[in-house]
């Protein structure tokens, strides 16, 4: 695998975060406008779409991480809880040169973890109880270092925004599709254009798919980079490789959804059939192979 300069990766992620906001905001705007047209708001649809998009982007940037944490059902640890875990995370934060993130635990037997937040000063790492029970120190350090790399690389901002924005686009698209499927508006009474109605419906269906493909493609590349940076941080790639071997086949998490799945260190959806373009993560076997070759 080609080596990636960590500072170049950080700048690329900051820049790509802006591009993502613009791209997803545009898709969100168009999805709202298309749905508004399906409802018959063609006179005020554009203004309505702009208003909703502006409010939602503001919300996503300010409260995206807390929304994700709430959806996961995780509980934040007090500073005196889980001292072993606190020690591992604090040591890695010092080594990575970032503030210690807030630590959360999901009371789930599956083995998984994820990071979220908008920047290293406002970051969170979530571990499942199953992962904490089944990992040795070097394996836990590997997993924590992987998530710490997401924080240091500003992957968390990118991923958090992607999850919230794609979730909104998917919800609006589903709403528009269901409305049209069950009768839609009385377009002829308003003198509407049937072609535009069909185009609006097509966009309402395709926008979430396109947005999801973009999110998944970016997520897969960031997992490889975080693995490499974690190995560099711990100086022991075998630790993360061993952790991934344990996680493989035991990563399903009850609190995970198709919207948040891309955040986790491994696909948390039970018996996920997503592959290729629709895969949330690169193959675990491939990641292990790369780590063992380092």
Provide the 3-class DSSP secondary structure of residue 126: strand
Q: Are strands 102-106 and 122-128 parallel, antiparallel or unpaired?
A: parallel
CA-CA-CA-CA torsion sign (244, 248, 254, 255): positive
The size of the chain, in residues, is 294
Sequence-ordered alpha helix ranges (H) in the chain: 6-39, 45-72, 83-96, 129-134, 137-152, 155-181, 194-234, 237-247, 284-292
Question: Per-residue pLDDT for 4 more than 60?
Answer: no
> When comparing pLDDT for 119 and 25, which is higher?
119
CA-CA-CA-CA torsion sign (57, 63, 66, 70): negative
Classify residue 3 by its DSSP letter: -
Average pLDDT over residues 212-237: 78
Most confident of 21-30, 115-124, 179-188, 219-228: 115-124
Q: Which residues of 103-115 are buried (b: 16+ CB within 10 A; e: fewer)?
A: bbbbebebbbbbb
Least confident interval from 70-84, 153-167, 200-214, 246-260: 200-214
Question: Per-residue pLDDT for 158 more than 60?
Answer: yes
- % of the chain beyond a pLDDT of 70: 65
pTM value is 0.75
> d(Cα 189, Cα 43) in Å, to the nearest integer?
14
Which residues form the catalytic set? 147
Average pLDDT over residues 132-138: 96
> When comparing pLDDT for 126 and 179, which is higher?
126
| Domain regions of the chain by residue span | 6-292
């Amino acid at each position: 695998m080609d080596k990636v300069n960590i500072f170049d990766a950080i700048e690329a992620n900051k820049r790509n975060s802006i591009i993502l906001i613009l791209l997803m905001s545009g898709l969100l705007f168009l999805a709202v406008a298309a749905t508004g047209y399906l409802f018959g708001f063609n006179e005020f649809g554009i203004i309505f779409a702009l208003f909703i998009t502006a409010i939602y982007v503001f919300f996503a940037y300010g409260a995206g991480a807390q929304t994700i944490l709430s959806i996961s059902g995780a509980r934040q640890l007090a500073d005196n809880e889980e001292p072993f875990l606190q020690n591992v995370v604090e040591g890695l934060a010092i080594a990575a040169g970032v503030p210690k993130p807030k630590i959360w635990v999901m009371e789930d037997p599956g083995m998984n973890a994820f990071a979220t937040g908008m920047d290293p000063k406002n970051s969170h790492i979530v571990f499942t109880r199953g992962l904490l029970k089944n990992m040795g120190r070097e394996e836990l350090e590997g997993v924590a270092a992987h998530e710490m790399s997401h924080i240091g690389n500003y992957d968390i901002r990118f991923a958090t925004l992607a999850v919230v924005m794609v979730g909104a686009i998917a919800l609006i698209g589903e709403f528009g599709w269901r409305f049209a499927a069950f009768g839609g508006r009385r377009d002829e009474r308003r003198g509407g254009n049937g072609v535009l109605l069909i185009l609006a419906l097509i966009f309402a269906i395709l926008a979430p798919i396109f947005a999801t493909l973009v999110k998944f493609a970016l997520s897969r590349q960031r997992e490889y980079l975080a693995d490499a940076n974690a190995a560099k941080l711990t100086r022991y790639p075998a630790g993360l490789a061993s952790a991934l071997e344990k996680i493989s086949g035991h990563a399903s998490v009850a609190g995970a959804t198709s919207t948040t799945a891309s955040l986790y260190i491994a696909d948390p959806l039970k018996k996920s059939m997503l592959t290729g373009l629709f895969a949330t993560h690169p193959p675990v076997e491939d990641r292990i192979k790369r780590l063992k070759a380092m």
